[in-house]
Structure 1
Amino acid sequence: MVAFGTSAPELFVSVKAAFNGVPDLAIGNVVGSNIANIGLILGLVAMIMPIPTRNRTVWFDWTIMIVATVLLMFFAYNGTIGFLEGIVFLVSLGLYLIWSVFKARRKSQSSEEVFLSADISIWKALFWVLVSVVGLYYGAEWLVRGATTLALSWGVSDRIIGISVVAFGTSVPELATSMMALYRKENDISVGNIIGSNIFNIWAVLGVTAVISPLQVNDKEMLSQDLLISIGFAVLLLLFMLPLSRGVLSRWKGAILFLLYILYIYILFA
């Protein structure tokens, strides 16, 4: 649920970009957000305070994240992510969610306790959801319009703007959520939020976007470079979490992730 909420900006921005005829911005937003989530967000959080990663279920979620990324590469290879590919993404997401809920219920009843202790009424919650949706709609409109203007004025491609500027903007909720989770010592949410958000970005965001409006992959560097770098960051994250029974994302590991992200952004604009 946390990952779904923090991925909402990516969904609105990608759908808006697709409707505005800038599909590279839509796909770049997702791929760039996935890279930023690991390199920038986890890197910064780990540099502030080491993150214990001792939940063995992270391995399964990490595997799903890799599967989702490879599936995206496969579907994008022919230059189009169409309606059928979007349906496959959404069905895959549904199966993943069903498994996650089943796993959580078997593990404990802690989630039930959280709902019972909620101190906000259903009407107030619905009100804030409605306000947030309206804000996301207009925020996506302004962000896509501003990003397209930046691409034209800087003389760079929509892909680069999507991967850098737009992806950073839509990744801010992940940063805020991870920092708050770390402050409350809910370390599983901190790492799980990032991995879950990356899964949602591909299967939910691109799935919904492709069903509504097919996405053309115009910039081939998205396949030959950016998606491979996304997988590279994911592999590095797994190596840094080993052994899963007592792993820790220490400050020096966070610094490496962060510096690699800065280097990647520098190379994009170089």
Structure 2
Amino acid sequence: MLVEIGMLIVGLFILIVGGDLLVRGASSIALRSHISPLVVGLTIVAFGTSAPELLISIKAALDGSPDMTMGNVVGSNICNLGLVLGITAIIGPIKVQADSIKIDWPVTMGSSLLLYFVVKEDVAMIKTYEGIIFLILLIGYTVFIIRKSRRETKAKMGLEEADVDVPAPSRSLWKDIFRIALGCLGLYFGAEWFVGGAKSMATSLGVSERVIGITVLALGTSLPELVTAIVASVKKETDLALGNLMGSNIFNILSILGITSIIQDIHVSKQIIHHDMVAMLIVTLILLPMMLYKRSVGRISGAILLVLYVVYTYTVII
């Protein structure tokens, strides 16, 4: 068991480092090519930070472990809104931006419902053409967000740029290329070790790959978001936390499952459809009244979300 745990920890570390190197290298090249930091932040950075989850999902699907693929995505979405948002709100109330109510939540709920009805009506499978539809929807959503952000930024600052967290460009093109290559290698080998350790752990513990995907993989890939959210909450800089978490959920469904299903049809077990996806829909639905009440997700709401996550995880494990 120690070997499997070691593979998980090392694999996750290499995945995170690989994703960071990929983001820095690609962002630097894009900025040097005079692409707006706003566009870089909403495309390259967003994609790069989800690259570990994407590689894990593709690796699991190709290895014949679709429950790990679906468990990773669905479990991560529940973890984002239950564990991460819950802990963040308990540390300090989170202000709800107007866009979170008007745009982020409807798209998050719509993406979740789309996934549910696709697998429920289509013999429990996400096929290639459905993955293409997911990606088209993601591109449309991203273009909409970029245009909206540009308009708002111009109105506020008279500039095209926005205050987004984008790594500064380096002075050397070859350094950027080296970062991208090293990042891709890190993502590949990190996914190999992380998924391999998870499958070995499932065998050793005698539990299903679905359980490992929803608990170990989902929690592991959500750790960066958890750490970032906790630090932001302690610094009382949580204004964008809610939108970022819902954006991550949208990206998980439309991008990760979209790309993975284009490479390999994803079979979905009945347990994931009738238990885990329903839990994801419930947590997302419950979030709306919390957001509308006083336009703030407070400590009581955070405690409710955290309890729901703990109860859900308990029902998965037993």
Same structural fold, with TM-score higher than 0.5 when normalized by the shorter chain:
yes
Task: Tell me the residue number matched to 2:299.
Answer: 251
Distance of 1:156 and 1:74 partners within structure 2: 27
Distance 1:19-1:186 versus aligned 2 partners, 3 A rule: same
**Shift in Å at residue 160 of structure 1?**
1.3
**2:112 matches 1:69:** yes
Measured against aligned partners, the alpha-carbon deviations of 1:186-229 in whole angstroms (never above 9, x if no partner) come to: 43431111000000000000000000111111x20111111111
Q: 2:130 aligns with which of 85, 88, 105?
A: 85
Q: How many residues align?
A: 266
**2:172 matches 1:102:** no
Counterpart code for 1:56 = A
Higher relative contact order (CA 8 A, sep 6+): 1
Equivalent pair of 2:91/2:233 in contact (CA under 8 Å):
no
Task: Tell me the residue number matched to 1:57.
Answer: 99
Distance of 1:225 and 1:36 partners within structure 2: 15
Q: Which moved more, 1:116-125 or 1:93-102?
A: 116-125
**2:230 matches 1:179:** yes
Q: Which moved more, 1:119-128 or 1:227-236?
A: 119-128
Distance of 1:147 and 1:117 partners within structure 2: 32
What is the percent sequence identity of the aligned residues? 43
Q: How does 1:85-164 map to 2 (within 5 A)?
A: 85-109=130-154, 112-114=161-163, 119-121=168-170, 123=173, 127-164=178-215
Between structure 1 and structure 2, the one with the greater Rg is 2
Equivalent pair of 1:3/1:196 in contact (CA under 8 Å):
no
Distance of 2:310 and 2:166 partners within structure 1: 42
Q: Which moved more, 1:110-119 or 1:180-189?
A: 110-119
Distance of 1:116 and 1:7 partners within structure 2: 15
**Shift in Å at residue 242 of structure 1?**
1.1
* TM score, norm. by length of structure 1: 0.90
Task: In structure 1, list runs of 5 or more residues that go unmatched.
Answer: none
Measured against aligned partners, the alpha-carbon deviations of 1:6-56 in whole angstroms (never above 9, x if no partner) come to: 322211100000111101110110000000001011111112222111x11
Distance of 1:115 and 1:160 partners within structure 2: 36
Distance of 2:245 and 2:74 partners within structure 1: 13
Counterpart code for 1:239 = P
Distance 1:115-1:164 versus aligned 2 partners, 3 A rule: closer
Counterpart code for 1:121 = S
Distance of 1:23 and 1:183 partners within structure 2: 38
Distance of 2:168 and 2:116 partners within structure 1: 44
Distance of 2:52 and 2:64 partners within structure 1: 18
Distance of 1:192 and 1:27 partners within structure 2: 23
Distance of 1:183 and 1:127 partners within structure 2: 35
Task: Tell me the residue number matched to 1:17.
Answer: 60
Distance of 1:127 and 1:182 partners within structure 2: 35
Distance 1:132-1:252 versus aligned 2 partners, 3 A rule: farther
Task: Tell me the residue number matched to 2:313.
Answer: 265
Task: Tell me the residue number matched to 1:165.
Answer: 216
**Shift in Å at residue 69 of structure 1?**
0.9
Distance of 1:70 and 1:132 partners within structure 2: 34
Distance of 1:22 and 1:201 partners within structure 2: 18
Task: In structure 2, list runs of 5 or more residues that go unmatched.
Answer: 1-41
**Shift in Å at residue 114 of structure 1?**
3.9
Equivalent pair of 1:28/1:167 in contact (CA under 8 Å):
yes
Q: Which moved more, 1:123-132 or 1:253-262?
A: 123-132
Q: Which moved more, 1:117-126 or 1:19-28?
A: 117-126
Equivalent pair of 1:4/1:197 in contact (CA under 8 Å):
no
Distance 1:108-1:186 versus aligned 2 partners, 3 A rule: farther
Cα-Cα RMSD: 2.2
**2:224 matches 1:224:** no
Distance of 1:25 and 1:117 partners within structure 2: 31
